Amino acid sequence: MTTMRISSSWIVPVAVVGVLVVALIGARRSYVDSRGRPVVVYAHPPCPPSLMALYEPIWDEFRRTHPHIDFRVLHITGKYEDKIKVMYVGKIAPDIIFMYPTALPAWAELGTLMPLDAFLERDPAVSRDDYFESMLRTFSYKGKLYGLPKDASVDLLYWNRDLFEACGVDPPEPNWGWAEFLDAAKKLTRDTDGDGRIDQWGTTGWSWLQWIWQNGGDVVSADGRRCVLDSPQAVEAIQFWGDLVTRYKVAPTPTDMQDLGPWRLFSLGYVGMHAEMYPAVSVMRDYAKFRWDIAHVPRGPAGRVSPAVGSALAITTQSRHPQAAWEFIKWMTGPEGMRGLLSVEVPSCVKLARSDAFLRQPEAPDSKRVAVDALEYAHPPVQSIYYQELFDTIASELDRVWRGRATAAEAVRRAIPEVNRILARSEGTSKR
């Protein structure tokens, strides 16, 4: 197991420690219940009541079908990862945690997670073929799988059918590219009240990362040691991203989004196209007063690529009953567990995602198959234990491109030295 010094990312606010003092003091929980069954604790992250209402019966079904396991849910509120860190340091970590892909490197380097490869190899009831390969890659680190993928998604194109029709714009084509996307965005952008100011935009700015990957560029080198944002492909992509706002004026400026963010602007009908993960469909169903659907993101010069998102369930190294924990995460990420979440998530389970149970649900969007097919071009996130610091550093410089205060070449020239310092620190830390 790799060990490392607790980094700044593990400095937990005093308030968080205070919240968990009771848990730490009273942590001497039994690992076997009165009937001799293994007690398995899953730490569930914060979620809205509507989503919790979907989860509760699913967990009850697991308890019914696995009476030999005493399955318990620990509802975490507030800062989920901070509280799990405190519990781990206090040696009372739950058996199972919920994990996003960007958090994986830090968890793995700290030795908090069990690799799952051996569980898969010896379990005849489940195999790697049961999950989308792109999602297995997303939750793998240094050649080992650390989380069974639960829900799967990439950033998809959400589009406003009513605005497309009103502006005489054809629906997004399956194989459209940057040029067609930009043309559609120009046609959708309008001053609807004649006051000389744009109040309907063709698109939001999207993630700069997506444009880089679609143009054949990347953020860091293959060995993870240096920033490569100064490659011609990356610089060209970042400039195109910035030009959507400053040159073509088809995306809202930071000032335009001062009160409402890009997702809110789209859901209120002020934007024709927006990139978002699949679970956002639940928000659209509640708030959108217009017809909408999803489509594939445009294909870039190097192909179609979109950032992989989603979540996974992982077993901690402090679990007293890893085999029982495996029984839950295997069940929860499979057809039985995910069936109750099909209205709001794309399952990572291939069989269920491609079934009529998901594809023929009556709720919007109509083009659910797009969400499944898009997993073929999912790109795992950049893996770094300092992921957030890395991207905050880059974003602070690229923000100047978005605001028209610097070219892409100027912005990356300023960002690269600090990014390289972070990468060097990351490499040194992972060797401890």
Q: What's the CATH number where 393 sits? A: 3.40.190.10
Q: Which of 326, 342, 371 corresponds to the end of one domain?
A: 371
For residue 29, pLDDT over 80 is answered with no
Identify whether residues 210 and 260 lie together within a single domain. yes
* Residue 247, domain extent: 156-307+382-430
* Domain match, 348 and 391 both: no
Tokens at residue 132, please?
């989308």
Residues 31, 20 share a domain: yes
How would DSSP label each residue in 177-225?
Answer: BHHHHHHHHHHH-B-TTSSSS--BEEE----HHHHHHHTT--SB-TTSS
CA-to-CA distance for 182 and 194, rounded, in angstroms? 23
Interatomic CA distance for residues 270 and 405, integer angstroms: 26
Among 350, 371, 392, the domain boundary falls at: 371
70 and 208 share one domain: no
The residue whose two tokens read 């007063």 is 289
Residue 19 domain-assigned? yes
User: What pLDDT is attached to residue 3?
Assistant: 32
Q: How far apart are the first and last CA of the chain?
A: 11
Contacts of residues 286-290 at CB distance under 8 Å and 24 or more positions apart, as own/partner, are 290/160, 290/161, 290/162, 290/163
For residues 182 and 57, membership in a common domain is answered with no
Q: Quick one: pLDDT at residue 258?
A: 86
For the record, the structure tokens of 413 come out as 């020239």
Give the integer Cα–Cα distance in Å for 326 and 315. 7
User: Are residues 316 and 256 part of one domain?
Assistant: no
Pair (214, 327) in one structural domain:
no
Cα–Cα distance measured from residue 18 to residue 93, given in angstroms and rounded to the nearest whole number: 17
pTM for the complete prediction? Answer: 0.91
50 and 168 inside one domain: no
Q: What is the mean pLDDT of residues 40-61?
A: 96
Q: Are residues 263 and 411 in the same domain?
A: yes
| 138 C-beta neighbours (distance < 10 Å), count | 30
Radius of gyration of the chain (CA): 23
Question: Does residue 288 lie within any of the structural domains?
Answer: yes
Same domain for 286 and 413, yes or no, is yes
- If asked whether residues 398 and 267 sit together in one domain, one would say yes
**Boundary (domain end) residue, out of 371, 392, 418:** 371
Question: Is 376 part of any domain?
Answer: no
Q: In this predicted model, what pLDDT tens digit does every residue of 372-430 receive, in sequence order?
A: 999 999 999 999 999 999 999 999 999 999 999 999 999 999 999 999 999 999 766 55
The proportion of the chain whose per-residue pLDDT surpasses 90, expressed as a percent, equals 89
Assigned domain for 236 exists = yes
Structural domain tally of the chain? 2
Report if residue 280 sits inside a domain: yes
Residue 70, SS3?
strand
The pair of three-digit structure tokens given for residue 210, joined into one six-digit string:
């997506």
Give Cβ neighbours of residue 281 (< 8 Å, ≥ 6 apart): 294, 344, 363, 364, 365
Structure-derived torsion over alpha carbons of residues 116, 150, 107, 425, reported in degrees to the nearest 10 = 110
Q: Is the pLDDT of residue 112 over 50?
A: yes
Are both 289 and 390 inside the same structural domain?
yes
- Per residue in 338-362, pLDDT (tens digit) is 999 999 999 999 999 999 999 999 9
